[in-house]
Structure 1
Amino acid sequence: MLESKSEQAAYKRVVFPGRFQPLHKGHMHAIRWLLGHVGEIIVVVGSAEKSHTLENPFTAGERILMLRETIAAEKLPLERIIIVPVPDIEYNSLWVGYLETLLPPFQAVASRNPLVQRLFAEKGYAVLEPPLYQRDLISGVRIRKMMLEGRGWEDLVPKRVVEIVREISGIERIRKVVQTDEEL
């Protein structure tokens, strides 16, 4: 956590990694918190190569659109947010170095994921923990399950995300990818 104003000023640019499958209100709470504490945020859209599965139903482009349109709709300063799609690599120990080659220089990571925190700390980066927001209710896994089951998920994501999911027939996509060959 951030200790003092001088410590806050030390973080010109911070990496905020996630899959954003889909972007939800917890993610946006973290982005707003970070905007109040650091200069710029590099939002890493992870698993950029993955889509059309239950775990990763949306393409990197769709997730970037969700981020940009929500940031604009909420009148947040897009000029302080860099969004970068990043494909996975299969070597956790190399991941931070991989990001260093793809991203502008950064001083810290913002994450509550223990593995992410450890990987960045081992490379000497500061670790920020944005406060949780309704974590018992809001998670990508829960939202995707609710979408699949036809339960109300719309209040857990920003309004623009609801619209984008509908525009791209996202619910139908999720239901289709879980069907087995026998059901077809």
Structure 2
Amino acid sequence: MRAFFVGRFQPYHLGHHEVVKNVLQKVDELIIGIGSAQESHSLENPFTAGERVLMIDRAVDEIKRELGIDKKVYIIPLEDIYRNSLWVAHVCSMVPPFDVVYTNNPLVYRLFKEAGFKVMHTKMYNRNEYHGTEIRRKMLEGEDWEKYVPESVAEIIKEIDGIKRLRDISGRDF
């Protein structure tokens, strides 16, 4: 069985990591859709699609090693089309076929359900802590953010100088 899981992953954090780990134990293959792929260099979406692919790829490698599995994971950037009624068809045209969607996003759930897909809720993992907005705020404020993302993701954010990017685009003095 092949599953689909979508998010913006700005950044990919430990909440996402636990969902991916959980789903990988239930399916044969996983498609991870990177939503809003066209967005980058803003406070809400600071990382490029390519940077997010790298974050997810390295984090998934960690999961595979930890679980001792070698399942296929497709990581596919998906640009927004700003037409909810057409979005599922757009996604389906951009990714391999899949059997089930995993999400906790009410709109994503509704759209895929209406399109006839099997949709499963995922367990939420410390949603108050593992939330992209809060992690980006911690990055901006110089607080400890690294404990909220997989180690490999923290390394990539440092490698691309992601904190400086966030601070530069915030327009704030530090």
Could you state the TM-score of these two structures normalised by the residue count of structure 2? 0.93
Candidates 17, 20, 23, aligned match of 1:28: 17
Candidates 63, 66, 78, aligned match of 2:55: 66
Cα RMSD after superposing both structures: 1.3
Which position in structure 2 is the counterpart of 1:39?
Answer: 28
Alignment of 1:151 with 2:143, yes or no, is: yes
User: Which residues of structure 1 form unaligned runs of 5+?
Assistant: 1-11
8 Å Cα contact 1:48-1:60 kept in structure 2: yes
User: Percent identity among equivalent residues?
Assistant: 45
The aligned amino acid for 2:77 is P
8 Å Cα contact 1:17-1:111 kept in structure 2: yes
Could you state the TM-score of these two structures normalised by the residue count of structure 1? 0.88
Candidates 99, 110, 114, aligned match of 1:122: 114
Once residues 158 and 95 of structure 2 are traced to their aligned partners in structure 1, the CA distance between those partners, rounded to angstroms, is: 32
8 Å Cα contact 2:46-2:166 kept in structure 1: yes
8 Å Cα contact 2:30-2:72 kept in structure 1: yes
Which of structures 1 and 2 has the bigger CA Rg?
A: 1
Which position in structure 1 is the counterpart of 2:44?
Answer: 55
Q: How many residues align?
A: 170
8 Å Cα contact 1:110-1:129 kept in structure 2: yes
Once residues 31 and 59 of structure 2 are traced to their aligned partners in structure 1, the CA distance between those partners, rounded to angstroms, is: 16
The aligned amino acid for 1:94 is L
8 Å Cα contact 1:72-1:78 kept in structure 2: no
The aligned amino acid for 1:38 is V
Q: Deviations over 1:80-99 (max 9, x none)?
A: 21110111111011000001
